[in-house]
């Protein structure tokens, strides 16, 4: 199967969170969900991951209903199970035990085999002063690049 150029990103994640570790997980999908993802009709901007009975689930991920689907269409914001191995699940569960820690999706893509995958990260929320510092560093870097270009 040809590799599709599907890149659904969460651009706010790196600005709002300190990212610790990243994992690539499969997503358990229903019938018409993969068709909508292949048309880039999905959003992970407001999504987050939770642990339920030793499994990792993604919540609030929006996958638009497939327009050619019938009454078998999926629910747009249903919880979806993430497919990880047991060592990765144990590491995520230990990380989530600490207050203030969360797991957020960074990017959704289609791999070489045609399966939907999601890149998730262990994260801690940034404070306001951290965000201001990041913006200041970004502006300084832009100014230095402009000066080097001249």
Q: What is the DSSP letter of 98?
A: S
| Cβ atoms of residues 88 and 50 within 8 Å | no
Q: State the average pLDDT over residues 80-103.
A: 90
Asked if the model's pLDDT at residue 133 lies above 90, the reply is no
pTM higher than the cut 0.85 = no
Q: What are phi and psi of 27, to 5 degrees?
A: -120, 135
- Percentage of the chain beyond pLDDT 70 is 93
Lowest-confidence segment of 51-55, 75-79, 100-104, 108-112 by average pLDDT: 75-79
The closest of 13, 31, 4, 1 to 107, measured between CA atoms, is: 13
The correct CATH number of 7-149 out of 1.20.120.160, 2.60.40.10, 3.40.228.10, 2.40.280.10 is 2.40.280.10
- Could you tell me which residue, 1 or 38, shows the higher pLDDT? 38
| Cβ atoms of residues 102 and 123 within 8 Å | yes
Pair of tokens at residue 24? 């690539």
Q: What integer pLDDT is reported at residue 100 of this predicted model?
A: 85
Label residue 122 exposed, middle or buried (CB < 10 Å: 0-12, 13-18, 19+): buried
The closest of 116, 88, 98, 85 to 18, measured between CA atoms, is: 98
Asked if the model's pLDDT at residue 19 lies above 70, the reply is yes
Q: State the average pLDDT over residues 86-101.
A: 89
β-partners of residue 81 are 57
């Amino acid at each position: 199967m040809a590799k599709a150029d599907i890149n659904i990103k969460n651009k706010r994640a790196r600005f709002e969170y300190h990212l610790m570790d990243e994992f690539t997980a499969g997503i358990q999908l229903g019938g018409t969900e993969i068709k909508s993802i292949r048309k880039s009709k999905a959003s992970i901007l407001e999504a987050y991951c939770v642990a339920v009975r030793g499994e990792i689930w993604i919540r609030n991920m929006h996958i638009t209903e497939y327009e050619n689907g019938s009454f078998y269409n999926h629910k747009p914001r249903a919880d979806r199970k993430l497919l990880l191995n047991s060592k990765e699940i144990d590491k995520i569960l230990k990380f989530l035990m600490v207050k203030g820690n969360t797991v957020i999706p960074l990017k959704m893509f289609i791999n070489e085999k045609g399966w939907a995958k999601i890149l998730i990260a262990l994260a801690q929320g940034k404070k306001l002063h951290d965000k201001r510092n990041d913006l200041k560093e970004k502006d300084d870097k832009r100014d230095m690049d402009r000066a080097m270009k001249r």
